[in-house]
Amino acid sequence: MDTTPNLNNSNYDNSNPDNPKVDVSNVDAAEIAKFEKLASRWWDRNSEFKPLHDINPLRVGFIDSKVDLVGKQVLDIGCGGGILCEAMARRGAQVTGIDMGAAPLAVAKLHLLESRLDIRYEKSRAEDYAVSHAGSFDVVTCLEMLEHVPQPAQIITACRRLLKPGGHLFVSTINRNPKAWLLAVVGAEYVLRMLPRGTHDYRKFIKPSELMQWTRGEGFATGELIGMTYNPLTQVYKLGSDVDVNYLVHLQAPAKD
């Protein structure tokens, strides 16, 4: 097992479309397989998905505080089993969730029988959905997904296409620095065993400055950038100014194209 971080990030270049290590489909089959394997436990609050359940009220609260979700057309990219989709639908949004994992989508659809919510789930790449549904959404969310994608910048381009003018984008991912490696990989996967080993590849973590470069390139204005921290002693998650590990950002598309 090699958990040594490549702090120079020299093997993996997020920004280079000619990088031969990058899958041109922008879907990493090995990443999708990881989530397919765990999918049946998606709604088990004590499973590998506990962290997503625990942070969900915080992130939905943040989103709803920036855009009143009532009546909004919302697309959730990389929706998995639908934890975020359901919470946004409960707040009155018209939600569509897309993912490339068949098993998480099947779980998400099954869970609607229990929750009795009305959510559309589709298997699609963000890039393809952006062609068929350009300019359709008031809000696009893409949480805890970019760090599993070969070319995350391409997803940001798709998000811009999917949004109506002035629409809102919410992105969360993991920062890339030694502290993030220590807490998000070593701490969460090896010490606390909150996540299966290999869930996260340090080299795919994204610095806020990199994300901002891509979003600025698409004309997004940056709203608030906020950190999500976990205290292992109290087992409590908080939103705050520490963006060293997990972070969540609110962005807004230009009012006119």
Binding of residue 88 to ligand SAH (CB under 6 A): no
The site string for ligand SAH over 31-70 (x = CB under 6 A, - otherwise) reads xx--x----------------x------------------
Binding of residue 152 to ligand SAH (CB under 6 A): no
Nearer to ligand SAH, 143 or 169 (CB): 143
Residues binding ligand SAH: what is the number (CB under 6 A)? 21
Binding of residue 212 to ligand SAH (CB under 6 A): no
* Residue of the chain from 84, 169, 184, 206 that contacts ligand SAH (CB under 6 A): 84
* CA distances (Å), origin 64, targets 70, 73, 98: 9, 13, 20
Binding of residue 145 to ligand SAH (CB under 6 A): yes
Gap between the Cα atoms of 91 and 106, Å rounded: 23
Binding of residue 195 to ligand SAH (CB under 6 A): no
> Which residues, at least 6 apart from 249, have a Cβ–Cβ distance to it below 8 Å?
170, 171, 172, 208, 211, 215, 222, 223, 224, 225, 226
> Which one of the spans 2-10, 99-107, 228-236, 237-245 is the region binding ligand SAH (CB under 6 A)?
99-107
* Residue of the chain from 80, 152, 167, 208 that contacts ligand SAH (CB under 6 A): 80
β-bridge partners, 95 = 74
What kind and span of H or E run contains 42?
A: none
Nearer to ligand SAH, 100 or 180 (CB): 100
Binding of residue 83 to ligand SAH (CB under 6 A): yes
> Which one of the spans 72-80, 163-171, 207-215, 241-249 is the region binding ligand SAH (CB under 6 A)?
72-80
Task: Report the nearest approach of ligand SAH to the CB of residue 220 (Å).
Answer: 19
Binding of residue 194 to ligand SAH (CB under 6 A): no
- Residue 193, phi then psi, degrees to nearest 5: 55, 40
- Longest distance between any two alpha carbons in the chain, whole Å: 50
The count of other CB atoms within 10 Å of the CB of residue 52 is 18
SS3 of residue 76 by DSSP: strand
* CA distances (Å), origin 209, targets 83, 137, 213, 239: 28, 26, 6, 19
Binding of residue 78 to ligand SAH (CB under 6 A): yes
Please say whether the dihedral angle defined by the alpha carbons of residues 66, 71, 75 and 78, taken in this order, is positive or negative. Answer: positive
- Residue 17, phi then psi, degrees to nearest 5: -65, -15
Chain residues binding ligand SAH by CB under 6 A are 26-27, 31-32, 35, 52, 78-80, 83-84, 99-101, 104, 125, 143-145, 148-149
